[in-house]
């Protein structure tokens, strides 16, 4: 074999290798909507089974420390009227896990594949940690937002740690910098693999390679805000009619959603005379989602 | 020998390309990612290769600056290894991304929708530093070959040499700090997070020492195949290994973690250089340099993903891809540039005399009297650097203004890491552009100009941004015209008022959350645009406004335009009555 031939063989092999690797690229563009209809859609039971499995795996117990009541965000453009948050009543919560299922149904959270399940990479936004639900705490001074290179993870003036899914490049830096690992990464295209059921048309389906996490049911807040603004154009909206899916689903009323800056809010009323706690690692970042226990 | 290495490279590259293809399509699920950090092999490989990429330019720039004599061949090989490993390194973070198509969003540049990357993220600093470092290393490398552009034309050669001589040493002065800066920034990716294994104030130092160490090992490795040894570099490698051992011990004391294999391969084995037989034996030397590289690779993997247990075949394929691509590009380039490297004028051992020549020139200059701001030193180096500082200041002012829409506080500290690359880029471009322009051939000039035009075009495309039409519009296909103002009112209040306000003046408070401020819909403006155009704007969208096609019927859009007019008339009536009251 002379040199010319050798190089030829090598380059053909390289090209073949690349083609083999790229065989998964759909050359005909996106699948049409007819196809997506015929794709397998998991039953509700599958989601319930997965929640059970996730709960059986359990998680590390939360290491809680006392925190003061959340107040106005420490940002130049903070909203002085609204800062949304939640308080989880540890005295009432019995760890039934109904909130996880409610969250899945509200936010179209997909199932994960068998391998992912073994690696404990569930997509659930809520995780049971020692009989207490844990979700993104929407830290006022969130470390995840600071490191996001594209600005996809950002903070709304009313205290939500928001995600622009279209802007996310999937560098997973936010996930690395979240001390409690509240962020979930879409390793797979759930729609393609038939792991997704669109329960709620209002919540967009997150594509492959995008980070996601608890949005504090942003869609419910936005809907209420739009409706309120149309009905009462000159009044200040305080989000009083909103409840997150998990708070709504809790049979023992252990998750309370509300506005930390609104004295009328059920959240402030419930948390006023309780001792508030947050996980030790994020207590210094001014979390909006806190735990309450005992009486003050 | 070189051909054998090239073939080894090819043999590694082919399976590497398969692994690359699989992981490009499959995404991060294909390779190992740490459960704690979500980061995996590509990032370790990136840090490893970027470390290798630092040594070459650092060696030749630092030696030039410090007046250490080094022959041109070593310098050329070192710089070439820099460029090749940079090319490998750039592939890795791209592959790491979940959505590769969005990589450009990391560049700190505005688009028409008012989005700008988060300048306080270390990844943005990384992106800029490495881009600038790549450009400047290329310039520095190219300047070698501009020394003898056309053999037969002696006057041109003399002119070219004079130009390049003037430029190379100041360029080295710019590159020297830049190299250290870039690697510090890479280390800040890790040091500025909350991952306990990644924290530590010594991180930049640790990373720089590691980078220099692995880079020196690579240069030594390459030189061994040239049948050639540079004692300074060997000594430096040894010193670096001690530094690394010290850092590992330090890390062990602080964090309690320790990578044993890295310590053995890169800490203990290099000490065999003290044995004369090992130093003199080529094969022993090659395996020694390889062991250092292996140790440093394991160390980087351990650092990025501490819970790493097993390498999957894709992970191994990516490692092979790196090594293969490096060997293929390096020895391919070497063959291409053989004439330049083994030039008859610049033989092996021919010491770089540029520094000396420049020194004598400066000595001559120092005896002359110059008006302030006209000394050659000022013209050549200080003025470009001052321009760079000016650009950096302008950039930070601009980002502070652009940041207005992002709800994240920005401080000077967050922009500061970008100062180094900006200053270096501007200074080096000003410094070299004239010299390279005079030296280069006409065809090269055309290529450069067309590249610049293409770059400007790319910036324009970036600014224009992508389409904002939702992929699956929820169609609302009623097309009847509604004359009832109250229905239009509700549509306006629910669809438009979030940005444009209930009263047609924009809703400043709400708008600031996601979008830039829209136009005020005054009567003059509505008249000048016209009804049909406004309907089109609603349906097709405009700069910052989303398209409402499929969500609002055309009839409704026309109704909305009429409603806008009503609002504007009401507003102008209110304004005129207020004016009358004042009168």
Encoding tokens for residue B123? Answer: 């990844």
Q: Which pLDDT tens digit goes with each residue over B524-557?
A: 888 888 888 888 888 888 766 778 877 777 888 8
Kindly tell me if the per-residue pLDDT of B351 is higher than 60: no
Cβ–Cβ gap A172/B39 under 8 Å: yes
Contact of B260 with B107, CB cutoff 8 Å: no
pLDDT of residue A183: 92
Q: Which pLDDT tens digit goes with each residue over A78-113?
A: 888 899 999 999 999 988 889 999 999 999 999 998
B-chain residues near A20 (CB < 8 A):
18, 21
A-chain residues near B122 (CB < 8 A):
147, 173
Name the DSSP class of A258: E
Kindly tell me if the per-residue pLDDT of B292 is higher than 80: yes
∠ CA B546-B551-B554, rounded to 5°: 95
Interstrand relation of A184-185 and A211-212 (parallel, antiparallel or unpaired): antiparallel
Q: Is A170 an 8 Å CB contact of chain B?
A: yes
Which chain B residue's Cα is nearest to A226?
Answer: B494
Cβ–Cβ gap B106/A149 under 8 Å: yes
Interstrand relation of A127-128 and A84-89 (parallel, antiparallel or unpaired): unpaired
Q: Which pLDDT tens digit goes with each residue over B353-393?
A: 544 555 555 566 566 676 767 777 777 778 888 999 999 89
B-chain residues near A233 (CB < 8 A):
493, 497, 502
DSSP readout, A116-142?
Answer: HHHTT----S-EESSSSEE-----TT-
Encoding tokens for residue A269? Answer: 């009323």
Kindly tell me if the per-residue pLDDT of A37 is higher than 60: no
Cβ–Cβ gap A226/B494 under 8 Å: yes
Q: Is A223 an 8 Å CB contact of chain B?
A: no
Q: Which pLDDT tens digit goes with each residue over A139-165?
A: 988 889 888 998 888 888 888 998 888
Q: How far is CA A281 from CA A64, A67, A143, A284, B357, in A?
A: 9, 12, 11, 7, 60
Question: Which of A281-290, B363-372, B571-580 is the least confident region?
Answer: B363-372
Interstrand relation of A153-155 and A161-163 (parallel, antiparallel or unpaired): antiparallel
User: A289: which strand partners?
Assistant: A86
Kindly tell me if the per-residue pLDDT of B431 is higher than 70: yes
For residue A149, give the nearest of B17, B20, B118 by CB distance.
B118
Kindly tell me if the per-residue pLDDT of B218 is higher than 50: yes
Name the DSSP class of A91: T
Q: Where do we find the tokens 């040199």?
A: A3
pLDDT of residue B156: 65
Q: What is the pTM of this model?
A: 0.80
Give the number of beta-carbon pairs within 8 Å between A and B.
182
Q: Give the whole-angstrom CA distance, residue A169 versus residue B190.
A: 19
Q: Which pLDDT tens digit goes with each residue over A256-275?
A: 999 999 999 999 999 988 99
Q: Give the whole-angstrom CA distance, residue A128 versus residue B143.
A: 61
Q: pLDDT-derived band of residue B343, with 50, 70 and 90 as boundaries? A: low
Q: Is A59 an 8 Å CB contact of chain B?
A: no
pLDDT of residue B479: 40
∠ CA B20-B21-B22, rounded to 5°: 95
Which chain A residue's Cα is nearest to B194?
Answer: A177
Which chain B residue's Cα is nearest to A116?
Answer: B29
Q: Is A155 an 8 Å CB contact of chain B?
A: yes
For residue A179, give the nearest of B21, B192, B194 by CB distance.
B194
Q: Which helix (H) or strand (E) holds B214?
A: helix B203-225
Q: What are the structural domains, with CATH classification, of chain A? A: 39-295 (3.30.70.20)
A-chain residues near B493 (CB < 8 A):
229-230, 233
CA gyration radius, chain B: 30
Whole-number percent of chain B with pLDDT over 70: 82
Q: pLDDT-derived band of residue A283, with 50, 70 and 90 as boundaries? A: very high
Kindly tell me if the per-residue pLDDT of B477 is higher than 80: no
Is ipTM > 0.90 here? no
A-chain residues near B487 (CB < 8 A):
none
Number of Cβ atoms within 10 Å of the Cβ of A245 = 24
Q: Where do we find the tokens 């083999």?
A: A20
Shortest CA gap B563–chain A (Å): 15
Contact of A202 with A107, CB cutoff 8 Å: no
Where does chain A show beta strands of DSSP type E?
Answer: 64-66, 84-89, 127-128, 133-134, 153-155, 161-163, 184-185, 211-212, 255-259, 274-279, 289-295
pLDDT of residue B87: 92
Q: Is A182 an 8 Å CB contact of chain B?
A: no
- Determine the average pLDDT of the residues in B185-208: 81
Q: What are the structural domains, with CATH classification, of chain B? A: 2-102+117-354+361-464 (1.20.1630.10), 475-582 (1.10.760.10)
Q: Which pLDDT tens digit goes with each residue over B46-70?
A: 999 998 988 888 888 888 888 777 7
Kindly tell me if the per-residue pLDDT of B349 is higher than 60: no
Contact of A226 with B490, CB cutoff 8 Å: no
Contact of B526 with B534, CB cutoff 8 Å: yes
Contact of A101 with A249, CB cutoff 8 Å: yes
Q: Give the whole-angstrom CA distance, residue A110 versus residue A123.
A: 7
Q: Give the whole-angstrom CA distance, residue B152 versus residue A64.
A: 79
A-chain residues near B21 (CB < 8 A):
17-22
């Amino acid at each position: 074999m002379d040199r010319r031939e050798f190089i030829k063989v090598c380059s053909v092999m390289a090209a073949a290798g690349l083609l083999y690797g790229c065989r998964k690229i759909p050359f005909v563009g996106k699948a049409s909507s007819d196809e997506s209809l015929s794709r397998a859609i998991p039953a509700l039971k599958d989601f319930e089974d997965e929640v059970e499995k996730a709960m059986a795996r359990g998680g590390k117990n939360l290491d809680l420390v006392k925190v003061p009541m959340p107040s106005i965000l420490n940002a130049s453009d903070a909203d002085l009227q609204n800062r949304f948050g939640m308080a989880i009543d540890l005295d009432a919560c019995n760890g039934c896990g109904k909130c996880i299922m409610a969250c899945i149904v509200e936010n179209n959270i997909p199932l994960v594949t068998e391998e992912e399940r073994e690696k404990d990479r569930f997509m659930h936004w809520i995780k049971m940690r020692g009989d207490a639900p844990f979700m993104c705490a929407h830290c006022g001074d969130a470390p995840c937002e600071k490191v996001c290179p594209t600005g996809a993870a950002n903070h709304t003036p009313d205290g939500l740690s928001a995600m622009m899914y279209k802007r996310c490049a999937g560098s997973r830096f936010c996930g690395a910098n979240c001390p409690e690992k509240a962020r979930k990464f879409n390793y797979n295209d759930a729609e393609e693999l038939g792991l997704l059921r669109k329960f709620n048309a209002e919540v967009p389906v997150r594509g492959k390679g995008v980070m996601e996490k608890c949005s504090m049911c942003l869609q419910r807040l936005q809907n209420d805000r739009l409706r309120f603004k149309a009905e009462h154009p000159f009044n200040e909206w305080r989000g009083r009619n909103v409840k997150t899916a998990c708070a709504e689903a809790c049979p023992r009323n252990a998750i309370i959603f509300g506005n930390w800056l609104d004295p009328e809010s059920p959240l402030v009323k419930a948390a006023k005379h309780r001792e508030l706690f947050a996980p030790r690692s994020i207590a210094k970042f001014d979390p909006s989602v806190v735990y309450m226990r005992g009486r003050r | 020998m070189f051909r054998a290495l090239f073939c080894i490279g090819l043999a590694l590259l082919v399976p590497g390309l398969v692994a690359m293809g699989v992981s490009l399509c499959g995404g991060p699920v294909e390779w190992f990612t740490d459960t704690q950090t979500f980061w995996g092999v590509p990032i370790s490989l990136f840090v490893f290769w970027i470390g290798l990429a630092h040594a070459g330019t650092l060696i030749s720039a630092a030696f030039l600056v410090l007046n250490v004599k080094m022959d041109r061949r070593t310098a050329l090989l070192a710089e070439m290894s820099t460029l090749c490993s940079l090319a490998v390194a750039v592939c890795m973070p791209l592959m790491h991304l979940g959505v590769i198509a969005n990589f450009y969003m990391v560049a700190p540049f505005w688009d028409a929708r008012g989005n700008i990357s988060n300048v306080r993220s270390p990844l943005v600093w990384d992106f800029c530093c490495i881009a600038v470092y790549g450009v400047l290393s290329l310039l520095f490398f190219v300047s070698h070959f501009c020394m003898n552009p056309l053999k037969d034309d002696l006057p041109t050669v003399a002119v070219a040499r004079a130009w390049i001589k003037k430029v190379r040493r100041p360029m080295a002065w710019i590159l020297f700090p830049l190299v250290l800066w870039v690697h510090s920034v890479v280390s800040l990716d890790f040091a500025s997070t909350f991952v306990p294994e990644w924290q530590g104030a010594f991180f930049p130092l640790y990373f720089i020492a590691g980078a220099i160490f692995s880079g020196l090992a690579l240069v030594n490795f390459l030189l061994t195949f040239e049948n050639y040894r540079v004692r300074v570099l060997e000594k430096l490698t040894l010193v670096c290994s001690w530094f690394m051992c010290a850092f590992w011990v330090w890390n062990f004391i602080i964090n309690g973690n320790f990578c044993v294999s890295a310590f053995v391969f890169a800490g203990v084995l290099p000490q065999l250089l003290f044995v004369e037989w090992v130093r003199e034996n080529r094969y022993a030397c090659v395996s020694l340099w390889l062991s250092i590289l292996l140790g440093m690779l394991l160390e980087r993997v351990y650092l990025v993903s501490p819970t790493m247990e097993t390498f999957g075949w894709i992970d191994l394929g990516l490692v092979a891809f790196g090594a293969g691509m490096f060997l293929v590009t390096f020895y391919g380039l070497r063959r291409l540039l053989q004439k330049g490297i083994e030039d008859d004028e610049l033989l092996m051992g021919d010491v770089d005399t540029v520094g000396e020549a420049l020194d004598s020139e400066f000595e001559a200059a120092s005896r002359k009297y110059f008006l302030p701001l006209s000394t050659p030193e000022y013209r050549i180096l200080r003025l470009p650097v001052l321009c760079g500082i000016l650009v950096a200041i302008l950039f930070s002012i601009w980002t502070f203004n652009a940041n207005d829409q992002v709800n994240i506080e920005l401080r000077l500290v967050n922009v500061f890491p970008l100062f180094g690359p900006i200053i270096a880029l501007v200074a080096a471009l000003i410094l070299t552009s004239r010299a390279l322009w005079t030296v280069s051939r006409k065809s090269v000039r055309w290529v450069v100009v067309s590249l610049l035009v293409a770059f400007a075009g790319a910036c324009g495309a970036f600014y224009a941004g992508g389409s904002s039409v939702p992929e699956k519009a929820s169609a609302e296909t009623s097309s009847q015209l509604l004359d009832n103002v109250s229905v239009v009112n509700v549509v306006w209040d629910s669809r438009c008022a979030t940005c444009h306000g209930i009263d047609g003046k924009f809703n400043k408070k709400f708008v600031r959350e996601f979008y830039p401020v829209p136009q005020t819909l005054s009567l003059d403006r509505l008249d000048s645009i016209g009804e049909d155009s406004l309907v089109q704007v609603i349906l097709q969208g405009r700069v910052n406004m989303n398209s409402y096609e499929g969500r609002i019927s055309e009839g409704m859009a026309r109704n909305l335009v009429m409603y806008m007019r009503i609002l504007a008339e009401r507003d102008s009536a209110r304004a005129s009555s207020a004016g009358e009251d004042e009168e």
